[in-house]
Amino acid sequence: MRRIIVLGSTGSIGIQALDVIRANPRRFELVGLAAGSNSELLAQQAEQFHVDHTALGAAAAEQLVRDVEADVVLNAITGSVGLGSTLAALQSGRTLALANKESLIVGGDLVLAAAAPGQIVPVDSEHSAIAQALMAGTHAEVRRLVVTASGGPFRGRTREDLSEVTPAEALAHPTWDMGRMVTTNSATLVNKGLEVIEAHLLFDVPYDDIQVVVHPQSIVHSMVEFLDGSTIAQASPPDMRLPISLGLDWPHRVGGVGRPLDWSTATSWTFEPLDDEAFPAVTLAKTVGRAGGTFPAVYNAANEQAVHAFHEGRLPFLGIVDTIARVVDAHDAPDELTVESLSEVETWARATADRMIAKG
């Protein structure tokens, strides 16, 4: 029986995690819940699962992690505000099922330094797929990681085509049902840029050996290519309950969480190169990742401000990644990477992005 704390319980990942826990009462015990602001749904979840320990807001979630006895902390908080909870889980010795990619990307070396080998289990479908595929060989035998992308709602469009994109169009993702920030990030491919940085940090593979490939069907969630020329792919219908369940009980598989593929029906899977001109976010993310330090935090914070501005009608779609690039170019990294310096850098990046957006 694994005792589970779910942070971000009222969001998409959190709700699906509760589905997995509900369906496996002899395997998981829910001992803590935290949400960002939806106090009504949080109270309903606590009552349904008979959970006494709840928290509202990022600071309270971090304290919950430190105070409540648990085996696994699922961090499904959205945004870099989840960094404190990530560090708290690692410092407390719990297994961290990580859906809050921003905390790893922003925290970088701070998070890696706090983590014991195998303590972080990825929940993003792409990184869960890579972790599963890596079981087929040793780290030394890896030639490259292949991260798949659905291409979002604007796959196949040129940069010129994207100049008049509306917020409603950006939120019409063809495969996944996600929140506004993540769905917009998928449309710009910023999300894939963040995932490339995450893959580098999680699996210690150089950026030159991480490739993004567009796979519209979202069946192959990522692949690992080995030195002998073989490629191991993890394939399943798009359903986040599968990687969530692995995160909660890694490396064991939980029966019945997802439906298998139907091999009796003819189907086609396609793979396409990424159009870096129309979607420069991945190339920019690799540059930022190589720079390291606080640069990924700047990338992430500037993006969050730009996405808000886009949905408020203050910035065109193409302006999102353009703004990130301008803020990154203006950044002077501090001498030391600490939680305090990260906070200061994020504040600077958000203010700088807002100022650039206001100036047009």
The pLDDT tens digits for 281-293 are: 999 999 999 999 9
pLDDT in the model for residue 130: 98
Residue 41 pLDDT exceeds 70: yes
Mean pLDDT (whole number) for 73-78: 95
Show the 3-state SS of 133-159.
HHHHCCHHHEEEEEEEECCHHHCCCCC
Neighbouring C-beta atoms of residue 203, cutoff 10 Å: 18
Instruction: Put the strands of the sheet holding 120-122 in their side by side order.
Output: 53-56, 28-35, 2-7, 72-75, 95-98, 120-122
20 pLDDT more than 70: yes
Question: Quick one: average pLDDT of 248-270?
Answer: 95
Q: Point out the least confidently predicted range of 62-71, 172-181, 209-218, 244-253.
A: 172-181
Tell me, what's the pLDDT at 286? 98
Cβ-Cβ contacts under 8 Å for 170 (sequence gap 6 or more)? 153, 154, 183, 184, 187, 188, 310, 317
Identify which of 281, 291, 298, 313 has the alpha carbon closest to the alpha carbon of residue 343: 298
Task: Look at residue 79 and tell me whether its pLDDT is greater than 90.
Answer: no
Residues 267-312 have pLDDT tens digits of 999 999 999 999 999 999 999 999 999 999 999 999 999 999 999 9
User: pLDDT-derived band of residue 175, with 50, 70 and 90 as boundaries?
Assistant: low
Q: Which domains does the chain have, with CATH numbers?
A: 2-123+240-249 (3.40.50.720), 125-237+263-284 (no CATH), 293-360 (1.10.1740.10)
Which position has the token pair 């720079």?
291
pTM: 0.94
